[in-house]
């Protein structure tokens, strides 16, 4: 038995150390010296080593307790992690605001629109921290997982490194189960210290604090991550388990964005307090101009502002596009600029045949990397900016990522510069170059040109690279150079040719031996079982990206889809040919009505699946054995769907159920054809309630909504 005094001492040490940590790393208000803090921490470590049973996951000693890892494991996010669209001018913000007005007007009644319109232009504006996005999972107040954003669906588990960040609480001030999102960053002074050490050791210096933060959080040894002294700001309550009760009150999701930031602060997170409520874009612009001057004097990097419509109700109504929230946008500061000379302008051929002019530059360093090429977008942009071969030009990184030529310095001209014009023939295949037509004939043509030769090798090469990419069929070993080699040998020309490859086809090639040939053929065979969203992405349909493919799967191919149940009566999807058959039935207007798909994207999808050549390709892929993973298309036979116990019934949950968790109950409801809503209204069929029910119980009584227990819920499933 451990002496009671020892237990009390350990608990006191933990509480005191955590209080000092919070004051130092979150409030920036230290109350003791480092010597005192280190002394208390050393005593705690000794006691926990002497009495291992007293060690807990939330103990301050566990911040650097993890052993070095062999690799980072992949983790699927509870909710998709979106990226923001960028604006670089007040005019672009006004366009965004006008789009939101139009969408809101379409989504609600005229009366509701009048009441919501004032709130639509009420923004919470936060500083956009230049760091690494992190997603934190807490269960009953304890940190259980820290994950990187990854591709928005799958991230990497970096929990042990997250624990080394002193400003991130291992235990919240309230025992809640939730997910938060924030930014991990490295201070300017810490970056200087690291670079001094690296220079002394003959190692290359880190280019910027963002890269340094990303590299630090991905160290396999947590002790190295701890030595980097990372920091954090948390800015989003991503998910909150419903029905949680603290001190007799149900904890609800904050109805306003500024209240959410306050709630996160109360939980013990470090929240950047420089946010502001702005009434309209004029207020936003004032804050933008103020911080454009102040940003370089901060320890953390700031690359713009983030605008969020303050009302969560409006946020929910506006929702998301295929890749970004409509209710939020990043207002980016002007990026780092530099000058260079355009040596030449070359055309880049994309997978859809679109020709993009690219400037070949005298190499120059910008934002921590060397740039030798920059986009010129299209011929219209070149003419508008009057950019010529031989010009001295100003370049920047659009969104700090893509190098872009923004203007020419005409005073530097010598008269030897050459005007560039779009050639009449494709530089890769000599095919005819034409102006791209927008599918909706009312809109005429776009600014883009494309190669009209369907057999252009450059187009086919880009299509194949897209098809086998990680977000598509993910064929291991089929990289860019291998694709080029196979095309040069005449072994592949289109996607279907990939699935015809045999070991004997590969062995004569320079790059292949017995083992590598066998491995590639096995990887191709393995890739034939593919998730339907990855399959749709791989097809390379114009305007259809990764997020849009998932949206189509959700809206068309899942059992909850009204298109599936009520209109087209599709029975089962398991092959590309069946996808083709289904799309042949779908009317264009139904695609146009999918919220978040977008008009041009819907038009493009409809036209792609109504092409005889594309239908032929899908049939051939089916013949070669391509089919979908069972869990990627959640569809039931029509006969099965009619037997669903809770078909078309709506539920709201409140309180703690005796035997089921919230997630388990929701899963049962959805599997049996029902829907789960978050708020009580007269249109709800059932309120499923447990102990410590909150305000939803009272409201359900007032609206005469049927209130049932877990036992009664189970009876519904038996009927």
Please give the full DSSP string across 626-661, using - where no structure is assigned.
Answer: -EE-TTTS----HHHHHT-TTTT-EEEEESB-SS--
Cβ atoms of 287 and 231 within 8 Å: the answer is no
> Looking at the structure, do residues 513 and 546 belong to the same domain, yes or no?
no
Q: In the predicted model, is pLDDT for residue 172 greater than 80?
A: yes
How far CA 215 is from CA of 63, 90, 185, 207, 374, in Å, comes to: 18, 34, 11, 11, 26
Q: In the predicted model, is pLDDT for residue 565 greater than 60?
A: no
Instruction: Out of 287, 312, 332, pick the residue that ends a domain.
Output: 332
What global pTM score does this model have? Answer: 0.59
Instruction: Output the pLDDT for position 557.
Output: 75
Cβ atoms of 152 and 80 within 8 Å: the answer is yes
- Residue 65 located in a structural domain: no
How far, in whole angstroms, is CA 570 from its chain's centroid? 31
Burial class (CB in 10 A: 0-12, 13-18, 19+), 164: buried
Q: Around Cβ 442, how many Cβ atoms within 10 Å?
A: 5
> Looking at the structure, do residues 552 and 510 belong to the same domain, yes or no?
no
Q: In the predicted model, is pLDDT for residue 244 greater than 80?
A: yes
Instruction: Out of 390, 419, 448, pick the residue that ends a domain.
Output: 419
* Top-confidence residue, 525 or 546: 525
* Top-confidence residue, 393 or 365: 393
> Looking at the structure, do residues 626 and 656 belong to the same domain, yes or no?
no
CA 525/CA 193 separation, integer angstroms: 50
Q: In the predicted model, is pLDDT for residue 692 greater than 80?
A: no
Lowest mean pLDDT among 227-236, 349-358, 442-451, 589-598: 442-451
> Looking at the structure, do residues 178 and 245 belong to the same domain, yes or no?
yes
Instruction: Output the pLDDT for position 392.
Output: 93
- Residue 577 located in a structural domain: yes
Among 454, 436, 456, which Cα is nearest to 444's?
A: 436
CATH number for the domain including 31?
A: 1.10.287.610
pLDDT band at 439 (very low <50, low <70, confident <90, very high): very low
Q: In the predicted model, is pLDDT for residue 535 greater than 90?
A: yes
Instruction: Output the pLDDT for position 677.
Output: 82
> Looking at the structure, do residues 562 and 624 belong to the same domain, yes or no?
yes
Among 317, 332, 421, 307, which Cα is nearest to 109's?
A: 317
List strands edge to edge, sheet with 650-654. Answer: 675-677, 650-654, 686-689, 706-708
Q: What is the mean pLDDT of residues 412-427?
A: 91
> Looking at the structure, do residues 617 and 698 belong to the same domain, yes or no?
no
List strands edge to edge, sheet with 122-129. Answer: 86-87, 328-332, 302-309, 122-129, 276-279
How far CA 661 is from CA of 215, 244, 649, 654, in Å, comes to: 38, 11, 20, 11
CATH number for the domain including 354?
A: 2.40.50.140
> Looking at the structure, do residues 204 and 221 belong to the same domain, yes or no?
yes
- Residue 168 located in a structural domain: yes
Alpha helices in 22-89 (DSSP H): 34-50
Which residue spans within 210-312 are E strands per DSSP?
A: 231-240, 245-246, 249-250, 276-279, 302-309
Q: In the predicted model, is pLDDT for residue 282 greater than 90?
A: yes
- Length of the chain in terms of residues written: 719
CA 175/CA 141 separation, integer angstroms: 4
- Domain tally for the chain? 6
Cβ atoms of 674 and 650 within 8 Å: the answer is yes
Decide: helix, strand or coil at residue 402. Answer: strand
Instruction: Output the pLDDT for position 563.
Output: 59
Q: Is 128 a catalytic residue?
A: yes
pLDDT digits (tens, 9 = 90+) for 69-84: 667 888 889 988 988 9
CATH number for the domain including 587?
A: 1.10.150.20
Q: In the predicted model, is pLDDT for residue 63 greater than 80?
A: no
- Of the candidates 117, 128, 223, 312, the residue annotated as catalytic is 128
What's 92's DSSP letter? H
- Residue 145 located in a structural domain: yes
DSSP, residue by residue, 76-91: E-SS------EE-SHH
Instruction: Output the pLDDT for position 402.
Output: 67
Which residue spans within 336-399 are E strands per DSSP?
A: 337-349, 354-366, 369-375, 388-389, 392-398
Average pLDDT value over all residues in the chain: 85
- Residue 75 located in a structural domain: no
> Looking at the structure, do residues 179 and 321 belong to the same domain, yes or no?
yes
54 contacts: CB under 8 Å, gap ≥ 6: 2, 6, 7, 10, 47, 48
Q: In the predicted model, is pLDDT for residue 510 greater than 80?
A: no
> Looking at the structure, do residues 260 and 125 belong to the same domain, yes or no?
yes
Q: What is the mean pLDDT of residues 373-383?
A: 87
- Residue 292 located in a structural domain: yes
- Residue 262 located in a structural domain: yes
Instruction: Output the pLDDT for position 561.
Output: 63
Cβ atoms of 126 and 304 within 8 Å: the answer is no
Instruction: Out of 31, 55, 79, pick the residue that ends a domain.
Output: 55
> Looking at the structure, do residues 652 and 622 belong to the same domain, yes or no?
no
> Looking at the structure, do residues 345 and 413 belong to the same domain, yes or no?
yes
CATH number for the domain including 183?
A: 3.30.470.30
> Looking at the structure, do residues 480 and 574 belong to the same domain, yes or no?
no
Radius of gyration of the chain (CA): 29
Q: In the predicted model, is pLDDT for residue 635 greater than 60?
A: no
Domain of 391? 337-419
């Amino acid at each position: 038995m451990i002496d009671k005094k020892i237990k009390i001492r350990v608990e006191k040490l933990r509480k005191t150390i955590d209080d000092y940590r919070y004051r130092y790393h979150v409030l920036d208000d230290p109350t003791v010296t480092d010597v005192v803090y280190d002394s208390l921490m050393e005593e705690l470590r000794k006691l926990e080593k002497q009495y291992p049973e007293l060690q807990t996951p939330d103990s301050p000693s566990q911040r650097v307790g993890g052993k070095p890892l062999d690799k980072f494991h992949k983790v699927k996010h509870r909710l998709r992690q979106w990226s923001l669209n960028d604006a670089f001018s007040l005019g672009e913000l006004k366009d965004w605001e006008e789009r939101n007005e139009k969408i809101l007007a379409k989504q609600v009644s005229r009366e509701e629109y009048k009441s919501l319109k004032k709130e639509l232009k009420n923004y919470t504006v936060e500083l956009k921290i230049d760091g690494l996005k992190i997603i934190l999972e807490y269960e009953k107040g304890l940190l259980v997982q820290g994950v990187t954003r990854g591709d928005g669906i799958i991230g990497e588990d970096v929990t042990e490194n997250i624990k080394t960040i002193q400003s991130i609480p291992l235990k919240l001030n309230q025992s809640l189960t939730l997910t938060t999102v924030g930014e991990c960053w490295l201070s300017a002074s810490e970056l200087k210290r690291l670079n001094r050490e690296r220079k002394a050791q003959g190692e290359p210096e880190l280019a910027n604090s963002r890269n340094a933060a990303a590299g630090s959080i991905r160290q396999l040894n947590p002790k190295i991550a701890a030595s980097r002294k990372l920091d954090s700001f948390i800015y989003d309550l991503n998910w909150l388990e419903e029905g949680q009760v603290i001190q007799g009150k149900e904890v609800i999701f904050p109805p306003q964005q500024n209240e959410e930031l306050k709630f996160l602060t109360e939980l013990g997170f470090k929240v950047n307090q420089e946010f502001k409520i702005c009434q309209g874009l004029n207020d936003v612009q004032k804050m933008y101009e103020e911080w454009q001057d102040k940003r370089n004097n901060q320890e953390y990097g700031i690359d713009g502002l983030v605008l969020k419509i303050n009302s969560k109700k409006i946020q929910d109504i506006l929702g998301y596009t295929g890749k970004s929230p409509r209710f939020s946008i990043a207002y980016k500061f002007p990026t780092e600029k530099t000058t260079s000379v355009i040596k030449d302008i070359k055309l880049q051929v994309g997978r859809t045949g679109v020709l993009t002019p690219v400037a070949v530059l005298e190499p120059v360093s910008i934002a921590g990397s060397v740039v030798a090429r920059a986009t010129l977008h299209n011929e219209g942009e070149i003419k508008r900016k009057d950019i010529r071969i031989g010009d001295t030009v100003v370049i920047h990184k659009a969104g700090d990522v893509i190098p872009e030529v923004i203007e020419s310095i005409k005073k530097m001209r010598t008269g030897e510069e050459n005007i560039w014009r779009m050639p009449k023939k494709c530089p890769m295949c000599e095919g005819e170059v034409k102006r791209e037509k927008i599918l909706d004939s009312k809109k005429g043509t776009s600014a883009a040109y494309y190669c009209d030769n369907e057999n252009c090798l450059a187009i086919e090469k880009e299509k194949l690279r897209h098809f086998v990419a990680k977000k598509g069929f993910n064929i291991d070993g089929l990289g860019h150079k291998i694709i080029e080699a196979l095309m040069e040998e005449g072994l592949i020309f289109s996607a279907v040719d990939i699935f015809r490859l045999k070991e004997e086809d590969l062995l004569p090639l320079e790059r292949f031996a017995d083992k590598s040939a066998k491995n590639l053929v096995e990887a191709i065979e393995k890739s034939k079982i593919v998730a339907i969203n990855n399959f749709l992405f791989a097809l390379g349909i114009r305007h259809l990206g990764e997020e849009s493919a998932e949206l189509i799967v959700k809206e068309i191919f899942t059992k909850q889809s009204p298109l599936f149940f009520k209109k087209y009566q599709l029975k089962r999807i398991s092959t590309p040919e069946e996808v083709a058959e289904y799309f042949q039935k779908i009317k264009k207007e139904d695609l146009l009505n999918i919220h978040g798909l977008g008009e041009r994207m819907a038009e493009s999808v409809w036209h792609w699946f109504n092409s005889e050549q594309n239908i032929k390709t899908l049939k051939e892929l089916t013949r070669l054995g391509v089919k979908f993973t069972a869990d990627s298309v959640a569809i039931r036979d029509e006969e099965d769907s009619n037997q669903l116990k809770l078909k078309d019934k709506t539920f709201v949950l409140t309180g703690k159920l005796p035997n089921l968790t919230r997630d388990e109950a929701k899963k049962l409801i959805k599997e049996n054809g029902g829907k789960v809503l978050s708020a009580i209204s007269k249109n709800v069929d059932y309120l499923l309630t447990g102990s410590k029910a909150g305000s939803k119980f009272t409201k359900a009584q007032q609206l005469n909504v049927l209130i049932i227990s877990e036992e009664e819920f189970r009876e519904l499933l038996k009927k």
